[in-house]
A and B are shown apart, each in its own frame.
Chain A
Amino acid sequence: MAQKTDIPRKFRDKKFTFVDTVAEQLKKDKNVSLFPKDVKFVRQEKDEEIILVSRKHWVAYAPHLIMGIFVLIIPLFLLLINSGSNIHFGKTTIYLGLFVASIVVSVNIFVTVLVQWYYSVSIITDKRILSLSVHSIFHHSYTEILWTKIQDVSHDSIGVLSSIFDIGNIYLDTAGAGVDLILRYVPKPRDVQDVIDNLVDLAHKGKL
């Protein structure tokens, strides 16, 4: 069970059922931090407490990481082809230069992935849920929904990787057509949904 001292006084009430049921499970995951004290966001109110911060699982960035490694290999591959054939295209220094350039490109890809992973967060507070998604270095989106506006919460877990790493997508639906917020590649989606369900339920009953 979660240490009582780690839990803010406000959430020691029995109405927050997730503290007893899923808090311990979520604490084990490195992509999730429960009751973090070092996170703030731009529209946070003075009495607003952050309950959970969840990052995308690293599997979401696996294609980028593979691309970074692939870029690093290309000049070596070209040099290998060139040394095997009779036609010598360019000096060896060109391939060395290409290798240096590929290191630069790879480092940029890896740092971009780090920024994307670090700042693509879903923050669950006692008033709302917000999601910051860094799609690329030129595109990010910020969405927030108050608990009272949420009508329906669901999750899915599709594919081999989802089963291996226990990741999934959580869908939050407000009044009106379509799903309004999708949290992708969430680790332990059932437990995160439990937290959301508990907070939505309390908000609708006016107990939050």
Chain B
Amino acid sequence: MDNKLLDFDKIQYPSTGGLVFGSITNILLKIFVAIILMGIIFYSFMLILKLRVLQDTVEISNGNVVKIAITVNLIVTLGGTILAFILILL
């Protein structure tokens, strides 16, 4: 006769340790990446402000190349950050 109560050693309990560890590291990774991305946005804004200071110090006529590069950098940073946020955080 089958007695399930006596076969307690055959019952398989779900292992939750790995899942908990995985989700914690996942959340930590997301927070870490989010902080870095926020920092990068701040940094690219600072680049624009720094360029303004440097242009006041030394005026180089074809300095527009750098200005264009920094503007493109800001656009890439904002676009890339939003995309990275969507892919990582959501």
Among B25, B53, B80, B88, the residue within 8 A (CB) of A103 is B80
In the complex, whether A7 has a CB less than 8 A from a CB of chain B is: no
Interface size on A (CB < 8 Å)? 33
| Distance between B74 CB and nearest chain A CB, rounded to angstroms | 9
Give residues of chain A (63-107) contacting chain B, Cβ–Cβ below 8 Å.
89-90, 93-94, 96-98, 100-101, 103-105, 107
Give residues of chain B (47-67) contacting chain A, Cβ–Cβ below 8 Å.
47, 50-51, 53-54, 56-63, 65-66
Whether the pair A100, B54 counts as a contact (CB closer than 8 A) is no
Taken together as a complex, chains A and B put the C-alpha atoms of A47 and B81 apart, in Å, by 49
Q: Which residues of A contact B56 (CB under 8 A)?
A: 42
| Distance between A88 CB and nearest chain B CB, rounded to angstroms | 9
Taken together as a complex, chains A and B put the C-alpha atoms of A78 and B25 apart, in Å, by 15
Whether the pair A90, B54 counts as a contact (CB closer than 8 A) is no
Taken together as a complex, chains A and B put the C-alpha atoms of A90 and B32 apart, in Å, by 15
| Distance between B1 CB and nearest chain A CB, rounded to angstroms | 41
Whether the pair A115, B54 counts as a contact (CB closer than 8 A) is yes
Taken together as a complex, chains A and B put the C-alpha atoms of A98 and B32 apart, in Å, by 11
Q: Which residues of A contact B50 (CB under 8 A)?
A: 115, 134, 137-138, 140
Q: A40-B58, A107-B80, A118-B66 are in contact. List 17 more A-B contacts (CB 8 A).
A: A93-B87, A93-B88, A97-B84, A97-B89, A98-B33, A101-B36, A101-B88, A103-B76, A104-B76, A104-B84, A105-B40, A107-B76, A108-B40, A132-B54, A134-B54, A137-B47, A138-B46
Selected A-B contacts with CB under 8 Å, 14 pairs: A39-B60, A41-B59, A42-B56, A90-B26, A96-B87, A97-B87, A103-B80, A107-B76, A108-B43, A111-B47, A111-B70, A118-B60, A137-B47, A142-B57
